Structure formats: C-alpha cells, structure tokens
Chain A
Amino acid sequence: MLANRKLILAHFWLAFAVFGVALTLGAWQMFIRSPIGTWLSNPELYYRSLTAHGTVMGYVFPTLVAMGFGYAISESALEQRLVGVRWAWGGFWLIVIGSIMAVIPVALGRASVLYTFYPPLIGNVFYYLGVVLVVVGSWIWVALMSINLRVWRKANPGAAVPLAMYANVAGSYLWAWTAVGAALELLLQIIPVAAGLKATIDAGLARVFFSWTLHAIVYFWLMPTYIAYYTIVPRAIGGRVYSDSMARISFILFLVVAMPIGMHHTFADPMVGAGFKFIHSAFTALVALPTLLTVFTICASIEIAARLRGGRGLFGWIRALPWDNPMLLALAFSFIMLGFGGAGGLINMSYQLDASIHNTQWITGHFHLIFGGAIVIMYFAIAYDLWPHLTGRDLIDLRLIRTQLWLWFIGMIVTTFPWHWVGILGMPRRMAYFDFGDPAIAPQALSVTLSAIGGFILLSSGILFLVILARGMRAPQAEAGPYRFALAVHQPATVPIALNTHALWVALMIALTLTNYGYPILTLAMTEGTSVPAVYVGAQ
C-alpha cells in the first residue's frame, strides 16, 4: 500500500537527477587530472567541481534516497498511510531550496571549500546556509519516521515492529544525532565567520566537530543498503531472512558503535590526544561486527532460497541461485565491493597503518569503493524494486538492468583499484593536476589513466540507469500489487522490548559520544589562542 507515490517518486527523481549531474562532474575530474587530459589552466575550476561533486554525493543524494525509501517503508511495512504528508513535502522543498542556495555560490567559485568544509578556508555564507537547510529538511523526515512508528504502536500495542521499519527508524535516529556535529561546526564556528561577524576560527575544534558527523554519516548512507539486503533481496529471490533477531542486533549495533569513532579521521591531527585516538580506533574495529553478522545472515538467507530451488551440496547451491535476477546480481556485486572496501577500511582505522595511506589517493579510492560501490549499487536495486510500485508500470528489460549493474561494478573496480594502488605509492589526494612528465611519478601514469577510464564506465552506467528509470515511466501499465518485505524463517510474533524499541540504544549512542568526544571538545573550546585567521575563498 503506497498511498503517497508522488512524494516518494519526487524524492527519488531529485536524488537521481542530482546524482547524474555530480557523476558527470566526477568523471570530468578523473579525466582532467589524468595523463590523458591537459592541465587545467585554472585549478580553482577543479576545486569548484570537487565541491559540487562532494556536496551532492555526500549530503543531497543519499539523504534523499534514505528519505524516499523511508517513506515507502513506513507506508508499506506498517500498512498505514503516512502521517504528516504536508510536513514531508515541506522537508522535500527545504532540500530543494537548500541545494539551490548551496550550489549557486559553488558554481560562481565563491565556495570552493570541498564538502568537508576545511576551515580555516571559508566560502560564501549561502553555501553553508544551503547545507543547513538540507539537514533541517532531513530532520523533518527523522521526526516523521518516529511519529509514524509511534502512531502504529498505539494501534498495535505490543506487536513486533516490522524489521524494515525498525531498521529505518534506527537509521533516522543515527542521522539525527550524527548530523549534530557538523551542525555545531556550521552554526557556532563557520557561519559566524562566513557572515563576517568574526575573522578567526578554531580549525582544530571544527575538525573534531566534523569528525563527529563524518564517520557515522557513512553508516547513515549504508542503512538503506542494509535494509535492502535484509528485507528486499531474500524476498526478490524467493528466500527468507535467516534470523530476524540477528538483523535487529546488526542495526542496533550500528546505532551504538557507528557514532563514537569519527576521530580515526583525525589520526594525523595534533589537537586530539593519542588516548582518545586509540579508543576511537578500537570502537571503529567494532563496526566490523554488525557487517560480519550481516554478511553471515544474508549468505544464510540466500542459501535458503537456493536450497528451496533444489540446490544441493556444500557450495553447489550457489549455482541454483537465480543469477538472472538483478537483485541477486546487485547483492553479489555489493558484497564483493564491501569485502574489498571493508578490508581497506581496517587499514584506515588502524592507528599505525593509517600513517602510510593518510591523505593519499588510497582514501579517495576507499570511500568510492564503499559508498559509490557497495552502497550505491543497492540504491539502484532499491529503485528497480520499488519503481513498478511507484509508477504502476513494469520494468520490462531485465537485460538492460543487468548490463547497468555489471557496468557499475566493473567501472567501480577499474576506478578504485588503481586509485588505491597509487595511494600506496604516495600520491596525495585533492590535487588538481600531477606532473606525469616528472620521472618520479611517470610510472603512476598508467594506473591513473586506467582509473579515469573506469570513471567513464561509471558515467555510462549512470546514464543507463537514468534511461531505464525514465523508460519505466512510459512502459505499459501493470498493477504490481502491494509492496512486501522479506519474511523471516521464524517470523516473530513478539520481540523483546529492547529489540522492538530504540531508546536503550539511542541512550548508549549518546553516552558513548559524551565519553569519546566530551573531553576533547571541551578542552579545545576552552583553550585560548587556538584560533587562526580565516582564509576566504574567492573573496575578490
């Protein structure tokens, strides 16, 4: 039962439209700093493009997907009409206005500060205000998810909250809390300077605030993907979720341990004590746990599907899987990229190993493989799965869908593997051009060229994706029936209170934030003389 199809479609279309633009910018960036492009005579253009690419891909695109998918989950999993539809549209328009407000100064070269802000660089104040509006718009979604669950609970006292909604609300709470770090940085530090009320900024404190947001935001991006793993893929291939409890435990673990770990982004920064860096490193290692639980549960779930289809043997069942089903294909690609990306992540989070790849192209390769690869390919899968229910029309050409997924997978591997490699060789990130004529880095030219070719494969896949969705809007009408989520092998009638509510885990998340961030933030805020003059970008 999807009553508000327009609302959900609006979120998805806006998300994928801005994704298409940012993807094009990304491919251009790969090309222009590779040996096959000529050097840009104005590096500012590169940073302008990089800022737009990051802002869209980091803030606007995944937030809109999570929101649209969240509304769809709320209506279909709870089987109740969305409460607060007007507010939902309000949130959507805030994001539209915020995005436009942010992108204008970026396009004019007044805010080439990259999406991570990098104070003491300061751009035009409207860029930051636009980002704030996007976040505020998404907070409306957070509130609506919570309210809709509450309404449902009143109508169904004591019943088990459907897994998809339980996970969706966990994701929304994680986002609400993790966005607070960047919000504090913007409101207390950056915006006063950008507005001209102050001329100095405590860049160290700002970086700590940003790390509060920057790691857990990745798990917010990840949530729709994990929800799709658990609740879409097993249903789509005719299997069942191996364990409903294991799924819930994975999601609450993300809620608790995704948050107090962000300082592994500041290992090379002098303003945080080594003891806190170690604690953050240790808690980052714990995040592997819910991922490993998920990989286990999902593999078990698809094995159930394979055995129901007559698969036999220790590994023979793998052949019995419906490999022509795009959902399974997307899952397989996503797992492979998650495996490589996760292994790389273990290196990033290790306090000592990080030193060898810190601020190199390895990092850029890593987060493109995890986010652009493992996560975004499941966004495609979510869109394909929901589309017939949103449009009332079939997506007929499965072959084209499979081609698109293959291209994305190949493109991402071709892009990110050489990217990791040149990072190990020491190539720094955030550079507009490299002198490949210099013998010292000439051998890296081949890897960088390969990477740029991967970028164009990704671009072609992205275009194909948009074409498939657009064609789906004009296909012959077909009623897709109610939207359903995968059932568990043992579908729970009741669930222990701790796994049916979020309060305990939210409390732990906040408590760990206080223990792991409280002291560093307080000392930095109270130490005198830690501010530096702001450097205004494009001020002339």
Chain B
Amino acid sequence: MMSARDLFTFSNPHFTRGVGITAAILIVTAITGFIVLPFAQPWVQFANVWDAICSAAGVPQRAATITAPGQDKRLSEVVLTSNTLSRPSQEAIGRGATLAQRCAICHGPTGISRADSPNLAGQYAAVIYKELHDFRSGARTNAVMSPFAVNLTDQEIADLSLYYAYLPRLPAYHPTPQLPKPNIVIYGAPMRGIAPCGSCHGSLDNKTGSPWLEGQSEAYMKAQLHAFASGERRNDISQQMRNIARAMTPQEIDQAAAYYASQPPDVVKAVD
C-alpha cells in the first residue's frame, strides 16, 4: 500500500526532482526579477541590492525627498462615499429648515429658484454638502455665495444638505417643451473621451457627488460648463468636469444645458 511516507521522501526521485526543479526555477526567476532586471534599468538608481529588491517587491515607500509642487489655488478636500448623509434625522432636517431661511432669497422659499440660481429642492444631500464645504474652504468661489458659506459650521452644512434633500422636487419656473435627448447626453463623444452626461447626472445613471440636473436653469448650467472649460471653476475631483467641459463644443454645451433645463424634475428617479 502506498503511503505519504513513500511519496514525501528524498529517496523518491519524483519528489526530489519535482521539488528541486520547481525550487530552482523559482530561485532563478526571483534573482532575475528582483536583482538582475532592476539593475538593468539604467534610468533607475539603487543604493544597494536590498534597495533594488524592495523596489521590485513593491514595498510601499514614501517619496519623502520630493516635495509636492505648491498649490496656489485651493482644491476640494471633501471626501464623499455613497453613504454620506444617507441616514437623515428629523431634528437635523428641522434645524436645516431654520437655517435655510437665509438661502431663500436666491434659492426660493420652496427650494425652487426664480433667479437662475440652482434649484435645491430634492437635490442629493451629498451634492449640497460638497458644494457648501467647497464654498467655505474657497475651493469654489462666488461673490454672492462665498460670504454665506464662510461662517457655516460642519453641523450646519450637514443640516442644510439634509433639509434641501428632504424637500419635494417641484417643477421649475421656466416651463419649456420637453426636448429629446441630444447625443452628448446619451452617448457622450467616445472619440473625444467624453462620457455621456447622463451616465453620472441622471437620465442613464447617477454617481455619488453628481447632482441631478433636470429642471435646473439653462443659463446657470451653461455658465458652469464654461467656467469648468476655462478653469475658472476647479472644485471637481480629479478635474473630471474640467476635462469634459474643455472637450465639449459650444453647441454641445448649449444642447446639454437646454435639454436638462427642459426636463421636469419628476423624471429623477427616487434615490432616498
């Protein structure tokens, strides 16, 4: 009867050769991959063999010697997950309602603007949360909005976001006939690296941190796209919107803004 003792023994040639050849291949490839090849790259300098091995093994290293280039403009520091402000409390919404009285002059008492400011009623909480933080930090600036945001506390920002997210999505004040979807909204422009607007902003899908746009002011959306394109607005994470807006044609900007402005907000699917 065969047993493990006959198999795992050096007197078994299959064991000796099998293990020996495997180990030999492993050692040769390891020496090649961790020592020979790193030094074969003339454009990389290693202090010693251990340095090369660590580099090839992918040991996490802090690049302490290189200082990041200085930023003269502030960038957004907000971190959003799909769970940000996902569990609103009635108290927070109530506090937010009181605070929102000062916003009503532009954004409307029901969260629907008559002044080409964004409609906030039923907007995603994470979106308002991010923009208020960015206005407060200076990552986004606006002559009217910045002074309002600069003194808000974290708590107040969260309360305001939850309050506006809680409001019902009412029709906008600029009724126009509902336009068909233009190409830029459903297809984007594949050859220019532009994803469809609808894949983040609704109509196709929604991504965390992207506002839904149905029924927003056409003038406002056009102004923001131009501001992204010119680099005047830069609080988008990793330049997502700047890269898209820069590659858009003026016609596409007009089409996208007109399309979204013409949509009733009840087409936004409930996410709450």
Q: Are B25 and A282 in contact (CB under 8 A)?
A: yes
Contact bitstring A183-203, B, C-beta under 8 A = 1, else 0? 000000000000010011000
Contact bitstring A479-515, B, C-beta under 8 A = 1, else 0? 0000000000000000011111101110110011001
Q: How far is the CB of A377 from chain B (nearest CB, A)?
A: 33
Q: Given contacts A274-B33, A282-B25, is CB(A41)–CB(B186) below 8 Å?
A: yes
Q: Are B57 and A540 in contact (CB under 8 A)?
A: no
Q: Are B6 and A497 in contact (CB under 8 A)?
A: yes
- Contact residues of B between 1 and 50, Cβ < 8 Å to A: 1-2, 4, 6-8, 12, 14-15, 18-19, 22, 25-26, 29-30, 32-34, 37-38
Q: How far is the CB of A197 from chain B (nearest CB, A)?
A: 11
B205 at interface (Cβ–Cβ under 8 A)? yes
**Which residue of A43, A271, A438 is within 8 Å of B58 (Cβ)?**
A271
CB neighbours (8 Å) of A535 from chain B are 82, 207-208
CB neighbours (8 Å) of B181 from chain A are 41
B179 at interface (Cβ–Cβ under 8 A)? no
Stretch at the interface among A2-10, A291-299, A363-371, A427-435: A427-435
CB neighbours (8 Å) of A496 from chain B are 14
CB neighbours (8 Å) of A497 from chain B are 2, 6-7, 12, 14
Q: Are A534 and B33 in contact (CB under 8 A)?
A: no
Q: Are B7 and A498 in contact (CB under 8 A)?
A: yes
CB neighbours (8 Å) of B190 from chain A are 431, 433-435, 438
**Which residue of A41, A505, A519 is within 8 Å of B18 (Cβ)?**
A505
How far apart are the CA atoms of A57 and B11 in the complex, in Å? 45
B56 at interface (Cβ–Cβ under 8 A)? yes
**Which residue of B2, B19, B60 is within 8 Å of A523 (Cβ)?**
B60
**Which residue of B7, B34, B191, B271 is within 8 Å of A540 (Cβ)?**
B271
Q: Given contacts A503-B7, A533-B81, A540-B271, is CB(A275)–CB(B34) below 8 Å?
A: yes
B55 at interface (Cβ–Cβ under 8 A)? yes
A37 at interface (Cβ–Cβ under 8 A)? no
Q: Are A534 and B56 in contact (CB under 8 A)?
A: no
Q: Are B81 and A278 in contact (CB under 8 A)?
A: no
Contact bitstring B49-66, A, C-beta under 8 A = 1, else 0? 000010111111000000
B270 at interface (Cβ–Cβ under 8 A)? yes
A283 at interface (Cβ–Cβ under 8 A)? yes
B174 at interface (Cβ–Cβ under 8 A)? no
CB neighbours (8 Å) of A157 from chain B are 1
How far apart are the CA atoms of A540 and B122 in the complex, in Å? 14
Q: Which size class do B's interface residues fall under?
A: 35 or more
Q: Are A500 and B2 in contact (CB under 8 A)?
A: yes
Q: Are A275 and B208 in contact (CB under 8 A)?
A: no
Q: Are A275 and B204 in contact (CB under 8 A)?
A: no
**Which residue of B1, B2, B22, B56 is within 8 Å of A275 (Cβ)?**
B56
Q: Given contacts A43-B196, A282-B25, A504-B15, is CB(A275)–CB(B53) below 8 Å?
A: yes
How far apart are the CA atoms of A539 and B83 in the complex, in Å? 11
Q: Are A199 and B191 in contact (CB under 8 A)?
A: no
Q: How far is the CB of A400 from chain B (nearest CB, A)?
A: 43
Q: How far is the CB of A508 from chain B (nearest CB, A)?
A: 6
B269 at interface (Cβ–Cβ under 8 A)? yes
A238 at interface (Cβ–Cβ under 8 A)? no
CB neighbours (8 Å) of B81 from chain A are 199-200, 533-534
How far apart are the CA atoms of A435 and B184 in the complex, in Å? 12
Q: Are B7 and A501 in contact (CB under 8 A)?
A: yes
- A505 to B, closest residue via Cβ: B18
B243 at interface (Cβ–Cβ under 8 A)? no
CB neighbours (8 Å) of A500 from chain B are 2
- Contact residues of A between 270 and 287, Cβ < 8 Å to B: 271-279, 282-283, 286
CB neighbours (8 Å) of B117 from chain A are none
Q: Are B30 and A273 in contact (CB under 8 A)?
A: no
B224 at interface (Cβ–Cβ under 8 A)? no
Contact bitstring A510-540, B, C-beta under 8 A = 1, else 0? 0110010001100100010000011111111
B187 at interface (Cβ–Cβ under 8 A)? yes
Q: Are A278 and B29 in contact (CB under 8 A)?
A: yes
Q: How far is the CB of A441 from chain B (nearest CB, A)?
A: 7
CB neighbours (8 Å) of A519 from chain B are 57
Q: Which residues of B contact A (CB under 8 A)?
A: 1-2, 4, 6-8, 12, 14-15, 18-19, 22, 25-26, 29-30, 32-34, 37-38, 53, 55-60, 79-83, 181, 186-187, 189-191, 196, 199, 204-208, 269-271
Beyond contacts A43-B199, A199-B81, A279-B29: 20 other A-B pairs, Cβ-Cβ < 8 A, are: A199-B82, A274-B38, A274-B55, A275-B38, A275-B57, A275-B58, A276-B56, A277-B33, A282-B25, A497-B6, A498-B18, A503-B4, A503-B8, A508-B19, A512-B26, A523-B59, A527-B60, A534-B81, A537-B205, A539-B82
Q: Which 9 A-B pairs have the closest CB atoms?
A: A273-B58, A275-B56, A498-B14, A278-B33, A199-B81, A275-B33, A533-B81, A275-B34, A282-B29
19 contacts between A and B (CB under 8 A): A41-B186, A42-B204, A43-B204, A199-B81, A273-B59, A279-B30, A279-B33, A282-B33, A433-B187, A435-B189, A435-B191, A498-B18, A500-B2, A504-B8, A512-B22, A520-B58, A533-B82, A539-B206, A540-B270
